[in-house]
Amino acid sequence: MSSVLTVRGGVPLTGRVKVRGAKNLVPKAMVAALLGNEPSVLRNVPEIKDVEVVTSLLQIHGVTVLKDPVTGDLTLDPQNAKTAPSTAIDAHAGDSRIPILFCGPLIHAIGEAFIPDLGGCKIGDRPIDYHLNVLRQFGAVVEKRPGGIHISAPKGLHGTKISLPYPSVGATEQVLLAATRADGITELTGAATEPEIVDLISVLQKMGAIISVQTDRTIRIEGVKELRGYSHRALPDRNEAASWASAALVTRGDIYVAGASQRDMMTFLNTYRKMGGGMDINDDGIRFYHQGGKLNPLVLETDVHPGFMTDWQQPLVVALTQAEGVSIVHETVYENRFGFTEALVRMGANIQVHRECLGSVPCRFGQRNFLHSAVVSGSTQLKGTDIDIPDLRGGFSHLIAALAATGTSRVTGIDVINRGYERFTSKLEGLGADFDVQNSRKSTPAAQISR
């Protein structure tokens, strides 16, 4: 059952939203609980689809997951972990990309893992070759089976030297989750160092792991025989915070993002300021606002941390349609993350996408026919239209474009947004957005929440 939003644009979003634990950390910390010999407690857990998927996958593997009805904190007890029926695992095929991170913890807990075919946003090919190569280097045997991949380690997992061809977030996490209880020392070079990875390392250290991170993208893990449980508060979702910050600029609004953390968003904050966005940084959150004058165009390149995060790109491109002049955006992390601009062009934006690397440094996608650079000319008045949401960040971007546009937009496929934005329709309502939610199957209003 899918929902449809009817959005009447032109209202500046004003008010306060709260961001909770990061989508790109929380499900992984939940998987890490499998490595312990006693229960773990995870706090600041958002109600999003990936948390549901991982809860279910853990439960079918015998992990007890209890949710505090008041705080939403999770207690995860792995002491009865067991092999899951393949039909139960298959039911999660295509739901998420997180299941690939179950490999190491399941091998340590029960000696084998079956991973269903993965889901996640269609923003490029998103292969898992780095993950499988890493696992093989630890001594795992990887077999393709109908509906997924079977992984075993007849001789256990052994520490090793690994060099990643690109600082992949997921592959770095794969190494961390496999290496902490592997026999011996693992040295990973070319690692990703995103704040969510550092938070996962904090979780593992609380469990008893020995992990050091050097400034040259080298991570060294000394394997230990046993890990205990952890008690951890997940770091806040900097990607959701940046999305609301862009929404404030696009709609000429003023949004206080409670929970936003300056430390994890420095590169975004510099960019926002260069564009002319207003911000007041407090201990418990950040106020983002349109200052009334013109917005400045930018030359921007996405990159791995500490560069400008790819997940910030799509909402910010909508804001760039409102800047005076020509902006250039070079996407170097995913080869296909500009598909969402097609709907923006239909709404009146002036955006051309190019195969060439329009940034300062040629990237992996330069000579390979991927439309991975964009030229945005502004400012343009956006007009409402019909939109079918393609992926998580692209979908949020379409939504804020519709909220800024003149006229009415009909937005389908909004359930994709629930994957990463907790209760986003309630948050929009609190910010004064003018919209209705309908259930598309019955096509009668299910929840009238317009103002």
Tell me the catalytic residues. 121
C-alpha to C-alpha distance for 34 and 105, rounded to whole angstroms: 6
Per CB under 6 A, which of residues 194..223 are in contact with ligand EPU? 194
Pick from 97, 217, 355, 410 the residue near ligand EPU by CB under 6 A.
97
Site string for ligand EPU, 228-247 (x = CB under 6 A): -----------x--------
Pick from 7, 200, 333, 405 the residue near ligand EPU by CB under 6 A.
333
Helix (H) or strand (E) holding 40: strand 40-43
**Does position 95 bind ligand EPU by CB under 6 A?**
no
**Does position 393 bind ligand EPU by CB under 6 A?**
yes
Closest CB to ligand EPU among residues 115, 121? 121
C-alpha to C-alpha distance for 46 and 22, rounded to whole angstroms: 8
Closest CB to ligand EPU among residues 318, 323? 318
Q: How far apart are the first and last CA of the chain?
A: 24
Residue whose C-alpha is closest to residue 427's, from 20, 141, 130, 131: 20
Per CB under 6 A, which of residues 163..182 are in contact with ligand EPU? 166, 168-171
**Does position 330 bind ligand EPU by CB under 6 A?**
no
Closest CB to ligand EPU among residues 200, 411? 200
Closest CB to ligand EPU among residues 137, 310? 310
Give the chain's radius of gyration (CA, Å).
22
Closest CB to ligand EPU among residues 240, 254? 240
Distances (CA, A) of 276 to 138, 268, 273, 283, 429: 49, 13, 5, 22, 26
**Does position 418 bind ligand EPU by CB under 6 A?**
no
Let me know how long the chain is. 451
Q: Contact 317/329 with Cβ under 8 angstroms?
A: yes
Only one of the segments 124-132, 149-157, 241-249, 367-375 lies at the binding site for ligand EPU (rule: CB under 6 A); that segment is 124-132
Q: How many CB atoms lie within 10 A of CB 96?
A: 20
DSSP 294-342: PBPP-EEEB-STTSB-HHHHHHHHHHHTTBSEEEEEE--S-TT--TTHH
| Token pair 């096509």 in the structure block, residue | 443
**Does position 130 bind ligand EPU by CB under 6 A?**
yes
Site string for ligand EPU, 9-28 (x = CB under 6 A): --------------xx----
C-alpha to C-alpha distance for 362 and 365, rounded to whole angstroms: 8
Only one of the segments 161-169, 207-215, 343-351, 367-375 lies at the binding site for ligand EPU (rule: CB under 6 A); that segment is 161-169
Q: Which residue is nearest to ligand EPU (CB)?
A: 170
C-alpha to C-alpha distance for 312 and 158, rounded to whole angstroms: 37
Task: Indicate the DSSP class of residue 36.
Answer: B
**Does position 332 bind ligand EPU by CB under 6 A?**
no
Pick from 392, 404, 411, 417 the residue near ligand EPU by CB under 6 A.
392
Taking the complex as a whole, how short is the minimal distance between the CB of residue 271 and ligand EPU, in angstroms? 16
DSSP 366-409: TTTT---EEEEEE----B--EEE--SHHHHHHHHHHHHHSBSEE
Only one of the segments 120-128, 255-263, 278-286, 442-450 lies at the binding site for ligand EPU (rule: CB under 6 A); that segment is 120-128
Task: Indicate the annotated binding residues for UDP-N-acetyl-alpha-D-glucosamine.
Answer: 97, 311, 333
Site for ligand EPU, rule CB under 6 A: 23-24, 97, 121, 124-131, 166, 168-171, 192, 194, 239, 310-311, 333-334, 392-393, 420
